[in-house]
Amino acid sequence: MSARARAERRHNRPLREVLDDLIGHARDIARRAKAMTPAELAYAEQRLEWLAEEVWRAATGEPPPA
């Protein structure tokens, strides 16, 4: 890992934390999707969209595109 990559991980902790949440949620959905009810799937999709918006804000400092 380059020094720049290490520095980015240290200086942009909010982005790293939101990305970790997004990845964890996506993995959870992938494991449980077949057993989830339609309501659970709908909520999981909404949460994925919310987390993606949070990643966008943390990465750019701007609101996500419409």
- Residue 14 has a pLDDT of 87
- Identify the pLDDT of residue 5: 62
Domain boundaries, the chain: 3-60
Closest C-alpha among 61, 27, 65, 26 to residue 47: 26
Contact assessment for residue 18 and residue 58, using Cβ atoms and an 8 Å cutoff:
yes
CA distance 30 to 57: 25
Each residue's pLDDT, cut to its tens digit, for the chain (66 residues) gives: 566 666 555 678 889 999 999 999 999 999 999 999 999 999 999 999 999 999 999 888 887 666
